[in-house]
Amino acid sequence: MEVVLFKDVLVIFSLAIGVLLICQRLKLPTVVGFLLTGILAGPYGFGLISAIHEVEVLAEIGVVLLLFTIGVEFSLKEFMRMKKSVVLGGSLQVILTFMASFVISIRLGRPFNEAVFIGFFISLSSTAIILKILQEKAEFDSPHGRMALAFLIFQDIAVVPMILFTPLLGGEAVHLGKTLAFLALKGVGVFVLVAASARWIVPGLLYQIARSRSRELFLLSVLVMCFGIAWLTYLAGLSLALGAFLAGLIISESEYGYHALGNIVPFRDVFTSLFFVSIGMLLDLGFLMKHPDQVALISAAVIIFKTLIATTAVLFLGFPLRTAIIVGLTLCQVGEFSFILARVGVDYGLLVGDTFQLFLAVAVITMGVTPFIMALAPRVANATLRLPLPVKLKGGLSKKSRSMNAHQLQELADHLIILGYGLNGKNLAAAAKTAKIPHVIIEMNPETVRNEKKGGEPIMYGDATHEAVLEHAGIEAARVMVVAISDPTATRRITAVARRLNPKIHIIARTRFFKETTDLRELGANEVIAEEYETSVEIFARVLAKYLVPREEIDLFTAETRKGGYEMFRKPVRDPASLADLKVSFPDMEISSIRVHEKATVVGRSLAELQLRTKYGVNLLAIRRGPQILSNPDGQTQILGDDILILLGSPSNLVPIAGSCQECEG
């Protein structure tokens, strides 16, 4: 590594620390902080960076690692289920955006070839920014998160023929047909290799590597797979980012996916921050100061038109209006691959002088406001739904499996309503079916509804934020409703609507973060399951078991913790009583805690009378009596009701002792 690059990276990270601290105080997204860092450190700011090209190379690694981690969190099966959204929805969004940009450019007097190139430039959105924000907000698994990902995947593929077509727009003679055919052939070969690797090659290879128990070897192997497949797709004419996503999909099919993810995340965060900094470095502040009105007008036009077009594409796929609006606002910016396309356009004279700077400024501005727009998107969607629009438009245009049949509707009484058919929804539905609990599922993905309905699931299509959908599911006669979706805003709205429609229904809401629990309880949820604290509850319950706390006390602890809103984990316990000082380990023996029943036959008898070691072959290590622990009790110590005996012995010898402590007199 050259000393200049080392110095530049040091300057970037040092400046970023200060900028991010200020942004945190002002409650601004971290993406905005990195963009500001790039603007300040770049050639149009204070000129602190000289190795600009080298920083851009490191930034490309950040995009590769980001897409790789997204692929790991995804799965090949889910990717195949999304093929309609990727191909149909993605192509519709790109084509409509291109056509709108092309027509507007022609009307503004731009030459034909430049208008076509501008259409290419504007039709792409920012994969890196969108996916990072979705991850931070825990909305990656939400309907709008999955739909946005589907569109972005198609855009990453579409940028390749755009780049190939650009020389033709510049007047250079190329054999486009042969080039595209050859590219398609190589692309098919890459996808076949990916499928074969996911099925047969990678799982076995990772198994052998994991057997070595070498952290360094495992990390290097994962990085080689990521960069190797990304490079392979690049050689095939596709993007590095797409190849990294495919590499993540391959590893996600093995049992080592999340272990790989944990190793890669720190590297991803560092290099991705360099990517956002490199974007900020492109903004020419001098040009922006000279033409603020022009830049603002075009940026606003791009955001509005891209939002409307993407919203239309999602509605065409049959999703509800609320999801469509959020996806539209999510995809409203110009993307990072547009910069790659812009460089090619400059080489062929399609973007020159002020035009190049104008579109770079528009791209950076739209990317910079994206975090704020995505934060406001749910409110905009909810406000739109309050307008007097057709019910069919609000609920979605899909005609597939819109409702259950009349016979099923008549049977809905004292039933369970499950909102969302992801992993939690599927497990809950399976449990309800096993327990013969009448239930109905509401899902917003029309393809999922159609497929599950064929399998006999009592599932209906609809957006549960609408009263009509909940009423159709029999909300007034339902006993329990479980909200198992990954959209915090929609969860709050659904809870409020359901409580208003049925004041007696028991609402259980699932949320990713604890901070959502208070709002959901105030809106009417009876129980709120916070995933981050549920993990803590389960871990601590197992810790208590290792410290010999009786099972009934552990169950009581978990129940009280959930009932009290996880108060124990948020405030220190004043008077802890535990067996943390009992640190013993005996091979081939078992330490067990047994509670003495109030009327057990052993109550009132001394340890000398019981002769535990002589008769039963066990040793009494301690007695827990209320908050006290009696260690090494002597023979005159009497057993009292509700004592907890800490015993050491073989499992077979402990069984009769447990029986004596529970056996009552008379």
Predicted local confidence at residue 532, as pLDDT: 65
Kindly state whether residues 59 and 131 are assigned to the same domain: yes
Kindly state whether residues 471 and 511 are assigned to the same domain: yes
Kindly state whether residues 339 and 484 are assigned to the same domain: no
Kindly state whether residues 212 and 337 are assigned to the same domain: yes
Predicted local confidence at residue 366, as pLDDT: 93
At 81-136, the pLDDT tens digits run 777 788 888 999 999 999 999 999 999 888 888 899 999 999 999 888 898 888 77
394, part of any domain: no
Mean pLDDT, residues 418-438 taken together: 87
Kindly state whether residues 471 and 367 are assigned to the same domain: no
576, part of any domain: no
Mean pLDDT, residues 649-659 taken together: 76
Kindly state whether residues 300 and 151 are assigned to the same domain: yes
At 501-551, the pLDDT tens digits run 999 999 999 887 777 888 888 898 988 887 766 766 777 777 777 766 777
Predicted local confidence at residue 400, as pLDDT: 47
- Residue ranges of E strands in 34-177: none
At 48-92, the pLDDT tens digits run 888 888 887 888 888 788 778 877 876 667 667 777 788 888 999
Residues 6+ apart with CB under 8 A from 177: none
- Identify which has the larger pLDDT, 416 or 260: 416
Residue at a domain's end among 508, 525, 542: 525
Predicted local confidence at residue 664, as pLDDT: 65
Kindly state whether residues 485 and 627 are assigned to the same domain: no
Q: Which of 309, 324, 358 is nearest to 338 (CA)?
A: 358
Burial label, 638 (beta-carbon count in 10 A; 0-12, 13-18, 19+) = middle
Round to whole Å and give the CA distance between 69 and 76: 14
Q: Which of 262, 252, 256, 263 is nearest to 229 (CA)?
A: 252
Q: State the distance between the two ends of the chain, measured CA to CA, in whole angstroms.
A: 84
- The β-bridge relationship of strands 506-511 and 480-483 is parallel
Domain interval for residue 551: 533-570
At residue 568, does pLDDT exceed 60? no
Round to whole Å and give the CA distance between 209 and 212: 6
* Residue 638 phi, psi (nearest 5): -95, 150
Predicted local confidence at residue 581, as pLDDT: 39
Question: In Å, how far from its chain's centre is CA 160?
Answer: 28
Residue indicated by tokens 């057993």: 639
Q: Which of 360, 341, 337, 345 is nearest to 125 (CA)?
A: 337
Sign (positive or negative) of CA dihedral 597, 599, 602, 603: positive
Q: Which of 373, 367, 372, 375 is nearest to 280 (CA)?
A: 367
Mean pLDDT, residues 23-47 taken together: 87
Kindly state whether residues 475 and 343 are assigned to the same domain: no
Round to whole Å and give the CA distance between 595 and 626: 11
- Amino acid (1-letter code) at residue 436: K
| Per-residue confidence band for 564, with pLDDT thresholds at 50, 70 and 90 | low
| CATH number of the domain within which 627 lies | 3.30.70.1450
| CATH number of the domain within which 240 lies | 1.20.1530.20
Percent of the chain with pLDDT over 90: 18
Kindly state whether residues 477 and 378 are assigned to the same domain: no
396, part of any domain: no
335, part of any domain: yes
575, part of any domain: no
312, part of any domain: yes
| CATH number of the domain within which 497 lies | 3.40.50.720
Q: Please give the helix or strand (H or E) that residue 451 lies within, else none.
A: helix 446-454
Mean pLDDT is lowest, of 138-142, 245-249, 425-429, for 138-142
| Per-residue confidence band for 580, with pLDDT thresholds at 50, 70 and 90 | very low
Kindly state whether residues 189 and 313 are assigned to the same domain: yes
Count of beta carbons in the 10 Å neighbourhood of residue 495: 24
Predicted local confidence at residue 561, as pLDDT: 66
At 323-368, the pLDDT tens digits run 899 999 999 999 877 877 887 788 788 887 788 888 888 988 998 8
At residue 619, does pLDDT exceed 70? yes
Mean pLDDT, residues 236-256 taken together: 78
Kindly state whether residues 329 and 454 are assigned to the same domain: no
464, part of any domain: yes
Kindly state whether residues 487 and 598 are assigned to the same domain: no
79: DSSP letter: H
- Identify which has the larger pLDDT, 589 or 526: 526
Overall domain count for the chain: 4
583, part of any domain: no
Mean pLDDT, residues 135-149 taken together: 82
Predicted local confidence at residue 618, as pLDDT: 84
- Average pLDDT, whole number, for the chain? 81
Round to whole Å and give the CA distance between 370 and 372: 5
At 363-406, the pLDDT tens digits run 889 988 999 999 999 889 988 888 888 877 777 765 544 445 54
Is the CB of residue 220 less than 8 Å from the CB of residue 174?
no
At 429-488, the pLDDT tens digits run 988 888 888 899 998 888 788 888 888 888 888 888 888 888 888 898 899 999 988 888
